C-alpha cells in the first residue's frame, strides 16, 4: 500500500496566467495546464483577482477606485467565473471539474480539515478534478486579522493562508501527494535572480533534518517578489518544509513547462526532497 494518497498537488501563480504584454489571460498557459489535469490531481489556482481586474478595465476603460480590500473583492468575484470557465473549456471533457473555495479557518479547525480532505480524496474515484482558490470575494481583511489573532491566543501554530503558495502546501498536508508542483513565472530558485545560470536544480539531504537545513540555506538567497502582495521565493521554501517532511517531492518550476517534463527532469526546475 502506497504511503501517498494522491499523485499530485499543483499550484499556479497569478502572473504565470497573465500575458503582461497584452494585459490578458495567457490562453496558451491555461490551456496547456488544463489539458494535463486528470483525476488524482488537485489543482490550486491563483489569478481570479488579476483576471477580474483586466476584465473590468476592458469593459469600463478604467480601474475601480475606493477601498483597496473592497476593490480586490470585487475584482476577485468578477475574475473567478472567467478563470473557471477557461479551465473547463480546455480540460478533457470526460472529467468533472469541482471548484472549491477555501479560507484560513478550513485549515485551523480539525472538523473542517477532515471535511475538506474527504471531499478531495473522493475526487479521483469519481473522475473529478478539484480546482481550489482562496475565497477572496468574501474574505474581509480586517475580520481575517482578528480571527487569526484570536486563534493565536489559543494555538501555537496557526495557518493564515496569506497566499496560494501556503494554501497549496496546506492542501498537500491534507492529502499527502507524491508530488507538489508550484508553478511560477521563473524556472525555480536562484542564488542570483539576475543570472539564469545560478538556478538551483536540486535541494536534498541524507535525512529530513539535513534537507530542512539545506532549504533554509537557500532561503538566504531569496528576496523580493514578482508583484505587490506576493511573498516570493523565500516564503515558498518556508511553506513546503512540512510537505517534504511527509515524503512529498516538491518542484518549483515555470508554468510554461509540461507537468510530466518537470517531474521527469526534462524541464528545468528546482527539485526539493529526499
Per-domain residue ranges for the chain? Answer: 6-272
Query: What's the rounded Cα separation, in Å, for the pair 176 and 174?
Result: 6
Size (the chain), residues: 274
Nearest to 226 by CA among 270, 165, 168, 138: 165
Query: Which CATH number does the domain 6-272 belong to among 2.60.40.1170, 3.40.1160.10, 3.40.50.720, 3.40.50.300?
Result: 3.40.1160.10
Task: List phi, psi (to 5°) of 181.
Answer: -115, 125
From first to last of its 274 residues, what are the pLDDT tens digits of the chain? 358 999 999 999 888 899 888 888 999 999 999 999 999 999 999 999 999 999 999 999 999 999 998 999 999 999 999 999 999 999 999 999 999 999 888 888 899 999 999 999 999 999 999 999 988 887 766 666 676 777 777 777 777 777 889 999 999 999 999 999 999 989 999 999 889 899 999 999 999 999 999 999 999 988 754 444 445 788 899 999 999 999 999 999 999 999 999 999 999 999 999 8
Q: What is the pTM of this model?
A: 0.89
Grid look-up 508553478 returns 183
Amino acid at each position: 500500500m502506497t504511503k501517498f494518497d494522491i499523485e499530485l498537488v499543483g499550484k499556479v501563480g497569478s502572473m504565470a496566467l497573465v500575458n503582461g504584454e497584452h494585459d490578458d489571460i495567457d490562453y496558451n498557459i491555461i490551456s496547456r495546464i488544463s489539458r494535463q489535469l486528470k483525476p488524482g490531481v488537485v489543482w490550486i489556482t491563483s489569478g481570479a483577482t488579476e483576471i477580474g481586474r483586466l476584465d473590468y478595465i476592458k469593459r469600463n476603460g478604467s480601474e475601480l477606485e475606493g477601498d483597496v480590500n473592497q476593490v480586490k473583492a470585487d475584482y476577485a468575484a468578477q475574475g473567478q467565473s472567467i478563470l473557471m470557465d477557461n479551465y473547463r473549456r480546455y480540460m478533457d471533457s470526460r472529467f468533472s471539474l469541482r471548484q472549491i473555495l477555501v479560507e484560513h479557518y478550513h485549515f485551523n479547525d480539525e472538523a473542517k480539515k477532515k471535511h475538506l480532505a474527504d471531499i478531495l480524496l473522493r475526487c479521483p474515484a469519481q473522475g473529478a478534478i478539484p480546482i481550489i482558490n482562496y475565497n477572496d470575494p468574501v474574505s474581509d481583511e480586517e475580520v481575517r486579522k482578528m480571527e487569526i489573532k484570536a486563534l493565536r491566543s489559543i494555538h501555537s501554530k496557526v495557518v493564515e493562508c496569506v497566499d496560494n503558495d501556503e494554501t497549496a502546501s496546506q492542501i498537500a498536508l491534507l492529502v499527502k501527494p507524491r508530488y507538489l508542483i508550484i508553478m511560477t513565472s521563473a524556472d525555480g530558485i536562484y542564488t542570483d535572480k539576475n543570472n539564469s545560470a545560478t538556478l538551483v536544480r536540486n535541494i536534498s539531504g541524507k535525512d529530513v533534518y539535513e534537507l530542512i537545513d539545506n532549504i533554509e540555506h537557500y532561503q538566504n538567497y531569496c528576496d523580493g517578489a514578482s508583484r505587490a502582495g506576493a511573498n516570493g521565493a523565500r516564503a515558498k521554501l518556508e511553506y513546503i518544509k512540512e510537505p517534504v517532511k511527509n515524503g512529498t517531492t516538491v518542484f518549483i518550476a515555470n508554468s510554461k513547462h509540461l507537468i510530466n517534463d518537470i517531474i521527469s527532469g526534462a524541464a528545468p526546475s528546482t527539485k526539493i526532497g529526499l
